[in-house]
Amino acid sequence: MSAQSNADGKLVQQVNAKLSMRGIRSPCNVTVTVARGEVTLSGTVTQPHQKLSAAQVAQSMSGVKRVHNQLTVKAAERRT
């Protein structure tokens, strides 16, 4: 594993941990990928503010060069 891919892997872990701390977890379904310091957020969140918050979290991380926010807002399904 190269030093760059190792750094990207650490960024994935750090972003995921911060998202969880911000309450962006199930039923949200966010996938974080990093390539050469560029973070891509994909999947779904349940509230519009979560999409913005996720991008802010990723951008605030040391080593992040750019954030591609591909998240979509989809209300959680209600169980009856």
As a whole number of angstroms, the distance between CA 23 and CA 13 comes to: 16
The pLDDT value recorded for residue 4 is 62
What pLDDT does 3 receive? Answer: 57
pLDDT of residue 26: 87
Q: Hey, what are 6's tokens?
A: 């190792």
Other beta carbons less than 10 A from residue 45's beta carbon: 24
Cβ atoms of residues 7 and 61 within 8 Å: no
CA atoms within a 13 Å half-sphere pointing along the CA-CB vector of 65? 7
What domains can you pick out in the chain, each with its CATH number?
A: 3-73 (3.30.1340.30)
Q: Report pLDDT for 75.
A: 79
CB atoms within 10 A of CB 24: 22
pLDDT at 14: 95
Q: What pLDDT is recorded for position 37?
A: 94
Q: What is the mean pLDDT of each run of 10 residues along the chain (80 residues)?
A: 77 95 91 96 95 96 96 79
